[in-house]
Amino acid sequence: MAGTLHVLTGPTAVGKTEWALRWAEAHNAEIVSCDSLLFYRGMDIGTAKPTREELARVPHHLIDVCDVADGISVVDYAQRAKIAVCEIISRKRQVLVTGGSGFYLKCFFGPVADDIPVEPVLRAELESKLLREGLTSLVAALERLNPDGLESLDTANPRRVLRALERCMASGRTLSELAAAFARMPGPFSGWKLRLARLDLPPERLNARIDARVKQMMDRGLVAEVTALRRQGLEANPSAARAIGYRETLEMLDGRLPAESLASEIAQNTRRLVKKQRTWFRTQLPDHPVFLADKLKLNDLFAQA
């Protein structure tokens, strides 16, 4: 089964939720979330998850699908998304994918994981080496296996360095060789027609929305939410615990961040995230139109995609 996927993305706080709802209501569509934090039950306030009223306006998929202590890999996400999309198409409705989580978003445009088997013993050995010798030791080992360079690998991210090193060791190939082989693989949605559009706002306008969102999170009880999630195993899921809004609140609860600085720290880190998101959208996604969210007309969305 194949069909058309409409994909709406944009930086945090730009207004994707409301525009997605309006477009879906007008075009007989259902929404597939591509926000890596909306998967988790209980992560509501800090993620600006759609409200119960918003969820009731249009059928949504891949929201509240697992507990916070459990992680979802991009492979798992792609499988779940494929099932949801096929079910929507079978109901003769349109599909609108919306979210700004780049790693998961990319699965709609290409392959998401290679087929290199990594023995659990090797993975355990490298994780132990990380704990004993630190990240610098793993980066040095990776550099020895990749004399031509480390591609665009984020060498400050322990998880990505670990995965890169184990794949090089397991395959006997360099990162550039692995990347070339990966690019030739079909993606989960190969053969589907994709229509991509992105929302954005001028910096001063988006910064004001970020400040307003953070204030709303604080007023709605972000600290109480994080306290409850901690009891449910939030910190067993590094991706969730390190998410903006959650990591700062955990630091505050542990006495490493003054309570009066919490809101400003979250807002500042959100602005940094937006800068990274914009770069990622520009460099990692296919060519696509960009619309100013405060000047957009509904009929224009996807008209150029």
What percentage of residues in the chain have a pLDDT greater than 90? Answer: 86
Q: Which pLDDT score is estimated for 304?
A: 66
Q: Which pLDDT score is estimated for 1?
A: 64
Give the separation between CA 4 and CA 21, rounded to whole angstroms. Answer: 18
- What's the rounded mean pLDDT across residues 7-13? 97
Please give the radius of gyration of the chain, using alpha carbons only, rounded to the nearest integer.
Answer: 20
Which one is predicted more confidently, 303 or 304? 303
Residue 183 backbone dihedrals phi, psi, to 5 degrees: -65, -25
What percentage of residues in the chain have a pLDDT greater than 70? Answer: 99
Which one is predicted more confidently, 277 or 179? 277
Q: Which pLDDT score is estimated for 298?
A: 93
Domains and CATH numbers, the chain: 4-111+187-300 (3.40.50.300), 120-183 (1.10.20.140)
pLDDT digits (tens, 9 = 90+) for 30-76: 999 999 999 999 999 999 999 999 999 999 999 999 999 998 888 89
pLDDT digits (tens, 9 = 90+) for 254-268: 999 999 999 999 999
Q: Does residue 77 surpass a pLDDT of 80?
A: yes
Residues linked to residue 166 through DSSP beta bridges, in sequence order: none
Q: Which pLDDT score is estimated for 154?
A: 87
Strand order in the sheet with 60-61: 60-61, 29-33, 94-98, 4-9, 193-200, 290-292
- What's the rounded mean pLDDT across residues 223-227? 98
Q: Which pLDDT score is estimated for 116?
A: 87
Side-chain half-sphere exposure of 107, counting CA atoms within 13 A: 26
Q: Which helix (H) or strand (E) holds 121?
A: helix 120-133
pLDDT digits (tens, 9 = 90+) for 175-202: 999 988 888 888 899 999 999 999 999 9
What is 226-291 written as a DSSP string? HHHHHHTTGGGSHHHHTSTTHHHHHHHHTTSS-GGGHHHHHHHHHHHHHHHHHHHHHHHS-S--EE
Q: Does residue 305 surpass a pLDDT of 60?
A: no
pLDDT digits (tens, 9 = 90+) for 11-36: 999 999 999 999 999 999 999 999 99
Global pTM? 0.85
- What's the rounded mean pLDDT across residues 95-120? 91
pLDDT digits (tens, 9 = 90+) for 149-163: 998 888 988 888 999
Q: Which pLDDT score is estimated for 114?
A: 79
What does the mean pLDDT of the chain come to?
94
